[in-house]
Amino acid sequence: MTSRKDWKKKGLTVEVKGDDFNRALRTFSKKVQDTGILKEVKDRMQYEKPCLKRQRMKKQARKRWERQVEDLIARGHWHPDKKY
C-alpha cells in the first residue's frame, strides 16, 4: 500500500495559504483558463462535421494571414498595392 507522500500530483493544483480560499479559487480559475481545458471540454460536448471543421480552420488561417500582412505593412516590409 502506498502512502499519500508517494502520490504524484497530477493536473492543476493550487495551494491554499492562510485560509484564503477565494484567492486560491481565482488562481485556479486563471490556470484553467490559461491551459484551455474548459475550451476543449466545450468543444468535445457536441459533434462538429468534418466539412464545418475545415471551414472554421480555413477561416482562422485566413485571419492569421491577414494579421501577418497588416503587421508587415505597418513595419514597411510589404506594399499593399504591389503584386507579389
Burial group, residue 14, by CB count within 10 angstroms (0-12, 13-18, 19+): middle
Question: Residue 33: which domain range?
Answer: 13-46
Are 41 and 54 within one domain?
Answer: no
Put simply, whether the predicted model's pTM sits higher than 0.75 gets the answer no
Q: Is 83 contained in some domain?
A: yes
Q: Is 8 contained in some domain?
A: no
Are 38 and 71 within one domain?
Answer: no
6 pLDDT exceeds 80?
Answer: no
pLDDT for the residue 43: 87
Q: How many helices and strands in the chain, by DSSP H and E?
A: 3, 0
What is the tens place of the pLDDT at every residue in 52-72? Answer: 999 999 999 999 999 999 999
